[in-house]
Amino acid sequence: MENHFISNPAVDLGPTGYDEALRIQKKAVLAVKRGYIDRALLFLEHPPVYTVGRKPVPENYIGIIPVATERGGDITYHGPGQLVIYPILDVRTDGRRDIRAFVNRIMEAAIGALSTCGVSAEKGENEPGIWCNGMKIGSVGIAVDENVSYHGVSINISKSVLDGFSRIRPCGMDPSVMSFVQVERNRLIEALISVFSGKFGLFGKIPREEFLEGLSGLPSNLPDPLRDSFPQVGGERLHKEERG
């Protein structure tokens, strides 16, 4: 394939359906595994969607049919008013694979970027995620394919996103624990690129179209990465975008 990537890309994909974002991540993972790029950093916003990880607890999402994913964790919500960050990175440090240490580095990078934007945040001591003033403002869930990460971090940057959490117990917690921080989206993206570059190696910001053109040269006959949703009689699936 001709290499369209002029650098290890940091890309603002903008509003992107969950299924499409997963396909893009899978292609980016393949690009890293095959050596076309060393890493990628994807930013986006999902339409309203509930997703569940590898440790589902159905009591936490009664009446909801979530999208099943390969990431860690339980039920969460994505929607407008949230910045989603998908780091496509080699999880190894000095050749050693330590997923817990890698997840901590991801959270530290997100917290460092928030600090640059004037927000004092921290990792939860007894609960997962990113916290500010005793409230949870960010969620973390990673999947790994042959030492390359996908899925990632979501940060609530608008009050509008909180209504989606009210219908579930996010990661088993009362939804009242969820909050947001008022940070300008583009400012936070620039801070994240800077901090992730310091921790994982330089990223170069490129347009969405250029990034997708680079991915288009990868094989088109990849298996569909999507899994079936968990069955829930009488539930409502808020996964609105069409597949394909």
What pLDDT sits at residue 154? 98
Q: Alpha carbon 55 to chain centroid distance?
A: 17
What pLDDT sits at residue 126? 80
Neighbours of 77 (CB within 10 A): 28
For the chain, which ranges sit under pLDDT 50? Answer: 1-2, 4, 223-244
CA angle 242, 149, 207 (to 5 degrees): 60
What pLDDT sits at residue 243? 27
What pLDDT sits at residue 93? 80
What pLDDT sits at residue 238? 42
Kindly report the CATH number that applies to the domain delimited by 9-216: 3.30.930.10
Neighbours of 58 (CB within 10 A): 15
Catalytic positions, written as ranges: 171
CB of 22 closer than 8 Å to CB of 226: yes
Q: Which amino acid is at 186?
A: N
pTM reported for the whole predicted model: 0.88
Inter-CA distances, 166 with 60, 64, 89, 160, Å: 11, 12, 32, 11
**Cα–Cα distance between 25 and 44 in angstroms, integer?**
12
Tokens of 194: 């800077």
Q: Tokens 């893009």 identify what position?
A: 24
94: left (phi over 0), alpha (psi -120 to 50) or beta: left
As a whole number of angstroms, the longest Cα–Cα distance in the chain is 50
What pLDDT sits at residue 6? 54
> 93 - beta bridge partners?
96
Inter-CA distances, 216 with 11, 130, 141, 185, Å: 15, 34, 27, 28
